[in-house]
Chain A
Amino acid sequence: MTQASFFPGGSQAARGLLARFPFMPALLILIALIVLNGVFEPNSLSYRAIRGLVSTYLALMLLAVAQTYVVYAADIDLSIGAILSLVNVSVIVLLDIFGGSPAMVLLACVAGVGIGALCGLVNGLVVAGLRLQAIVATFATSILFTGLALYVLPVAGTPAPAAFWRTYGGSFFGVPFVFAAAVVTAIVLYLLARARLITQLLAVGDDAQAAFQSGLPVTAIRIKGYVLCGVFAALAALCVTGDTASGDPLVGGKMVLNSVAAVVLGGTALSGGFGSVVGSVIGALIIGLISSLVFFVGTPSEWQNLVQGLAILIALMVGVLVGRKDKS
């Protein structure tokens, strides 16, 4: 089967750029979307609007990052939505019981991250340890985690203490918390990209057999990937809690498929071994900006979902087509 190269001969430079920065196509789409948003609604580029966008989509960005780490190793996690929900309600209920003092808020957040890591560990043991297929196994754990979330908080609605959402929505020395959080996240991601675990995850995703033969503890690495995923899903949950200021045992369910879409949009291969978290963050922003653009161009409300769905589908296809490297 012959496969035509996407780049006509001679664009070696573009190809090299793509190899180093797999998120290039996504970045171009993002810039185009920002420009279009600005054209149709100049206010969308205002400080306020951007702050609103970040505070709404920070959770999806983190969730996409979480998904990226397991996709690196050619795994997938359909339970991150349920993890997010479980952490969200756990934090809310902890604060409801023990009061919302600042120290307690911090403690609850740490506990939440711990719960996320634990859920990730369960996924890792089930998928890598017991060698179940990731898609169906994490679907099963998502039911399990959702059940736990429902047990912790049967109905949505318990509010978060003021200390929580005031912090998330507030500012420090003039810098909005969400921006500070985004910057801290960026630094963490930058450092994490250099961690040995990331290289190992990518090597496993590249060719698990080769990684195994090279002497890498493949199972342990995949489990660690799931734990990392659980931690970032928990961080996403904290953002959701800050943004919505309440607990909802089903809040994460709808975000699962978007997290996968964001990862693919960002140029990370679902087959593993190749990609970047930067791309996933961009992917999450693309999803956010597509929905705001659909709104700004004046799409009738009932058509918004369809146009958004089509735009995401097209962006996914473009991303996969451009990001594809020739394989013999």
Chain B
Amino acid sequence: MSKLVLRDVRKAYGATVALANGALELAEGEVHVLIGSNGSGKSTLCKIVAGSVRPDGGEVLLDGQPVTVSGPQASHALGIGIFYQELSLAAHRTVAENISLARLPVKGGLFVDRQRARTIAARYIAPFADVVGAGFSPDAEVGSLRADQRQLVEIMKTLASEAPVLIFDEPTSALDRAQVDRFFEELRRLRGEGRSIVFISHRMDEIFNIGDRVTVIRDGRTVATKTIAETNQAEVIAAMVGENREFAIPATSDEGAATGNELQAPDGAPQSEGESARPVALQVENLTGSGFADVSFSLHEGEILGFGGLHGQGQSAVLRALYGTDTTLSGTISLAGRQSEVSSPRRAIREGFGYVSGDRGRDGVISGRPILENVMPVHFVKSRRPLAVPSRLNEQAIPALSALRTKFATLMHPISSLSGGNQQKVVIARWLIDRPRVLLLDDPTKGIDLSTKTELFALIRELAAEGMAILLYSSEDAELLGNADRILVFNGGAISRELQGAARTRFNLYEAAYSAAERAAS
């Protein structure tokens, strides 16, 4: 019998349907992979199981019994343990306290039994003992740990729930290979014990390594469930992308991407020959800062320069440094031949930089405020006028928003009334009123649906064609391969390889990113 069954689960936020038809059958003793692009509804599905979101309809069966998961406490009581992607740790508490936070061992009915908490912690740390790295102990404060170590604590905490059903929402994003291997060994052991595990990841190799079955979710619907043995990467990707090929961005629409074969640069992308003829917009020399060292490159007007490589290898850090939010220790930045000092975003804007972050919620959206107020701040910096006359602002905002085909009711509606993709369009529209010389795109399409992505990249290529110089970091290789004229592959905070022209293939990109990573790990 299936351990956990979700049937026809639905959830809508206003007019936005997050989950149209969620179905999942989780057997005992299996690792069930849930995969889907960002915004496909898999996090909503998880939240419903976790009890943090109430479904509008459908049923959840645990051991054949219909259950209502009213909240995290209820899900704990029902025996569901959840690894939260954004982690659920208390930074000032110790590793041991965090691992057993939900059921701290007590003596005398009142006092925390620290010794036992440590023993419990030690039990769950043990399997990872040789991969946790320096500074990790049951008594270490979680806030003092590295990102990968914190992620391990969240894993241990999830395991410590000893729940029959375990849900891991992207548990490996910060882990290195050895840590992932050890984690997978634990998962296999648990599977052997008969536990039911839902595993969510974007890494294809991990999915095929650990999964027993895979369920693909697309546009809020679970579209297919297959055993790993009877499917392959191409089929999974095809199921994720679906039939709507017109929504697919150029690179993924290419047959090569779907089969994981070598990918040629699409014809639409300008070739790098002749680039050097155009004037240099941005020259970066020996830039060193926190998270990157000795980075040098030049960017020409009208060029889209991609930053590639595994996540978190210094790509974002370089972009943020150029925008003046991260400190640079040494090196020079020259815009159009003139050396520029960027000490803050304000300075960077005046110097001619623009920046779009993929982390809309933190860096982009001024939440709760009208769309108009979200479009104007950059213009305010450049115009230096003290007055804000709504009619004049409207005249400036509307063309910028319509250039991106942003869907909105009125400019006075709060930005939170828009979908994620449209919110990001508003944030990008900031840079269309007074255009920057160099636009820095820091994984700008994170969590955005495919059709919006297509529109955004069409606009980005248009801006480049008009002469804007663009630096693009994307965590999705297909976006880089499909849009960048050149790609700089980052590794460990340095540029490890430059891919130009015909060399811009998925194979080369992977090779540059992964082989260097192995070198770093060994």
Contacts and interface: CB of A to CB of B under 8 A. Distances in A.
Direct contact of A and B (CB under 8 A): yes
B99 to A, nearest CB: 10
B403 interface: no
A213 interface: yes
Contacts of B326: 2
Contact of A207 (B73, B90, B97): B90
Given A203-B97, A215-B72, A273-B91, 5 more contacts: A200-B104, A209-B88, A211-B101, A213-B82, A215-B101
Contacts of A200: 104
B87 A210 contact: yes
A41 interface: no
Nearest to B345: A1
Interface string B93-124: 10001000110101000111010000000000
Those 4 A-B pairs whose CB atoms lie nearest each other, nearest first: A206-B90, A215-B76, A213-B88, A215-B102
Interface hub of B92, B97, B141, B326 (most chain A Cβ within 10 A): B92
Interface of A: 1-2, 19, 191, 194-197, 199-200, 202-203, 206-207, 209-217, 273-274, 325
A212 B82 CA distance: 12
Nearest to B50: A213
9 contacts: A1-B325, A196-B106, A196-B112, A197-B110, A203-B93, A206-B93, A211-B101, A215-B72, A215-B75
A215 B89 contact: no
Contacts of A274: 92
- Kindly name the residue among A215, A274, A325 whose own CB sees the greatest number of chain B CB atoms within 10 A: A215
Given A195-B110, A195-B111, A196-B106, A215 B73 contact: yes
Contacts of A196: 104, 106, 110-112
B490 interface: no
A217 B91 contact: no
Nearest to B344: A1
Contacts of B344: 1
A199 B101 CA distance: 9
A217 B89 CA distance: 15
A163 to B, nearest CB: 32
Contacts of A197: 110
Contact of A195 (B88, B91, B112, B144): B112
A213 B73 CA distance: 8
Contacts of B327: 2
B92 A206 contact: yes
Contact of A213 (B72, B92, B97, B111): B72
Nearest to A3: B327
A216 B111 contact: no
A211 B91 CA distance: 11
Contacts of B110: 195-197
B111 A194 contact: yes
B362 to A, nearest CB: 12
Contact of A206 (B91, B102, B157): B91
By size class, the interface of chain B is 20 to 34
Contacts of A206: 90-93
Contact of B73 (A191, A217, A325): A217
Contacts of B50: 213
B473 interface: no
Given A212-B72, A216-B102, A217-B73, A207 B111 contact: no
Contacts of B90: 202-203, 206-207, 210-211, 273
Among A1, A202, A206, A210, chain B packs the most CB atoms within 10 A around the CB of: A210
Given A1-B325, A196-B110, A213-B52, A19 B104 contact: no
Contacts of B106: 196
A325 B72 CA distance: 31
A325 B112 CA distance: 26
A214 B92 contact: no
A210 B88 contact: yes
B84 interface: yes
Interface string B56-75: 00000000000000011101
A216 B112 contact: no
A200 B103 CA distance: 10
Nearest to A204: B90
A217 B73 CA distance: 7
A207 B89 contact: yes
Contacts of A211: 88, 90, 101
A171 to B, nearest CB: 32
A293 to B, nearest CB: 33
A144 B302 CA distance: 68
B267 to A, nearest CB: 43
A210 B112 contact: no
B91 A199 contact: no
B337 to A, nearest CB: 27
> Which interface residue of B52, B82, B93, B157 has the most chain A CB atoms within 10 A?
B93
A209 B82 CA distance: 14
A213 B87 CA distance: 9
Nearest to A209: B88
Contacts of B141: 19
Given A203-B93, A206-B92, A273-B92, A194 B112 contact: yes
Interface in B311-343: 325-327
A328 B88 CA distance: 18
A250 B325 CA distance: 51
A297 to B, nearest CB: 38
A199 B104 contact: yes
